[in-house]
Structure 1
Amino acid sequence: MLNDIEFVLSHTTHPGNIGAAARALKTMGLSKLKLVNPKQFPSAEATRRASRADDILANAKVYNSIEDAVAENRIIVGTSARSRTLPWPMIEPRELGRKIAAEPERRPVAILFGTENSGLTNEELSLCHYHVYIPTNPEYSSLNVASAIQLIAYELRLAALDNKDIIMPEPECDDPGELPATGEQVEQMFEHLQQVMEHTEFFNPLKPNKIRMRIRRLFNKSDLTDSEIRLMRGFLASIKKYVPQREEKE
């Protein structure tokens, strides 16, 4: 899915925004960037702001017109921060992600971004099937173009994950102490805890109450690891060792 989505920047005036856009795309697993009449590109500033996403800059395609840039796209989406004179189908980024995921036959998709100051022109927006808008604070809706790209790219990645187009690798654990504790370890810790509670007279086993069940429930919520069990048992041992010393002093 993500390989079928192209981000098109029209008449970008600051090369740093092109670099920041490349970085935003790469962090979300997107890679296709198109530029329409950028004021300055290639640029050392764009490369610097890309921060190791310079491969996306190297593969970016430059066009003389937005019509040429979207000629092969089956869905064209324009970003719009404000209501235009002519009503147009408006969708939020999350809905856009679901739509792209559900309609593979309508790919590749182009998502258009206009100039930093004024966005897309009405003529450019008229090329679009949908207008996507980010529901920002109405009292301060100003968004940098790279920030808008990051937000939309994030929602597209979530949609791809939900659609199982991306399989995230299981996190690796090199520290055995961070593995989940075994049932035996947990039971041994509870037994140790009960001994300490009896030793400190916090818990009297001859008086029926729910304290033991509540403490068990408390620790079961924590998904204890091997290292956490050992930490708790070390702490309990120190308490049991300290109590008779305190009694002797008293």
Structure 2
Amino acid sequence: MLDRIRIVLIGTSHPGNIGGTARAMHNMGLTDLALVAPRCTPVTADSVSRASGADHLVNAAPVVDTLEQAVADCTLVVGASARSRTLPWPMITPRGLGEQLPGELATSEARVALVFGREDSGLTNAELQRCHAHVHIPTNPDFSSLNLAAAVQVLAYECRLAWLARREAQSEEPTPPLATHAELEHYFAHLERTLIAIGFHDPAMPRQLMARLRRFTLRARPERMELNILRGILSDTEKLVPQRDDGPA
């Protein structure tokens, strides 16, 4: 899933920000970087230094002239915007974007592009209108300007969280069946019979014992196997109770 998420930088003016973006991507397992009309030389000593070992992403990043070229094969394009726009556009949060990604990338042909604008002016209205949706990072309104690489890091982190959640869900074993109502009632009858046999429960003076045990057990929502274990313990307990002529002691 992460391999099919592309980070697109438009009009970047400082090579260090390209390197910092590459580092943020590599931290989170993203590998696809594209540069649109950068206003600097992408591969420099500064960008390599800021990449801190992720300079292979900088070196492999294609440089194109337009946003359309960078996202031509993408099925979802999301523009990062810190400014309110005169024409409302579908807006999502970083967390909402992450939650949407597994569905968007359910097929191998799907591609998602996350588009970031210039350090000084962001994305133009025309560029934002070429996006399916806008994502806004809810920063401190008194100091909302984020460094480009930091903004990429926030969204890349949400992408990774979504990927980890998807991988965990795929690796989970099937949920064992819960005990049915009938099985629980058989268990409660067995439990009460055993407690009477060992002298722990006196039906003549119940003191809400069975009601409390019922509440405890029902709150736990036991699985069928767990209930079978408990009934096995009760059966073995009953075998240890001395038998009298008139019934259990």
Q: How many angstroms does 1:82 deviate by?
A: 1.6
**Residue in 2 aligned with 1:61?**
62
**Residue in 1 aligned with 2:231?**
none
Q: How many angstroms does 1:42 deviate by?
A: 2.1
- Distance in 1, matches of 2:154 and 2:169, equals 18
Q: Does 1:147 align with 2:167?
A: no
**Residue in 1 aligned with 2:217?**
none
Q: How many angstroms does 1:98 deviate by?
A: 1.1
Q: Pairwise mapping of residues 54-203 of structure 1 onto structure 2 (< 5 A)?
A: 54-103=55-104, 104-105=106-107, 107-164=110-167
Contact kept in structure 2, 1:25 and 1:153, CA below 8 Å? yes
Q: Pairwise mapping of residues 235-246 of structure 1 onto structure 2 (< 5 A)?
A: none
**Residue in 2 aligned with 1:15?**
15
Q: How many angstroms does 1:138 deviate by?
A: 1.1
Q: What do the CA deviations read for 1:157-190 (whole angstroms, capped 9, x no partner)?
A: 001001117999xxxxxxxxxxxxxxxxxxxxxx
Q: Does 1:24 align with 2:27?
A: no
- Distance in 2, matches of 1:80 and 1:124, equals 11
Q: How many angstroms does 1:120 deviate by?
A: 0.4
- Distance in 1, matches of 2:168 and 2:21, equals 23
- Distance in 2, matches of 1:47 and 1:91, equals 33
Aligned residues: 168
Contact kept in structure 2, 1:116 and 1:144, CA below 8 Å? yes
Q: What do the CA deviations read for 1:173-218 (whole angstroms, capped 9, x no partner)?
A: xxxxxxxxxxxxxxxxxxxxxxxxxxxxxxxxxxxxxxxxxxxxxx
**Residue in 1 aligned with 2:50?**
49
TM-score (norm 1): 0.65
* Paired residue type of 2:156: A
**Residue in 2 aligned with 1:242?**
none
Contact kept in structure 1, 2:42 and 2:58, CA below 8 Å? no
Runs of 4+ in 1 over 3 A off after TM superposition: 165-168
| Identical counterparts, % of pairs | 52
Q: How many angstroms does 1:58 deviate by?
A: 1.7
Q: How many angstroms does 1:9 deviate by?
A: 0.1
- Distance in 1, matches of 2:140 and 2:113, equals 26
> Greater Rg, structure 1 or structure 2?
2
Contact kept in structure 2, 1:5 and 1:107, CA below 8 Å? no
- Distance in 2, matches of 1:60 and 1:165, equals 31
- Distance in 2, matches of 1:141 and 1:50, equals 24
The CA RMSD measured in Å over matched residues stands at 1.8
- Distance in 2, matches of 1:114 and 1:43, equals 20
TM-score (norm 2): 0.65
- Distance in 1, matches of 2:75 and 2:88, equals 21
Distance 1:165 1:7, change over 3 A: farther
SS in 2 for 1:118: coil
Q: How many angstroms does 1:67 deviate by?
A: 0.9
- Distance in 2, matches of 1:72 and 1:101, equals 18
* Paired residue type of 1:5: I
Q: How many angstroms does 1:81 deviate by?
A: 0.4
Contact kept in structure 2, 1:8 and 1:110, CA below 8 Å? yes
- Distance in 1, matches of 2:139 and 2:169, equals 28
Q: What do the CA deviations read for 1:122-177 (whole angstroms, capped 9, x no partner)?
A: 01001000100101111111100100000110011001001117999xxxxxxxxx
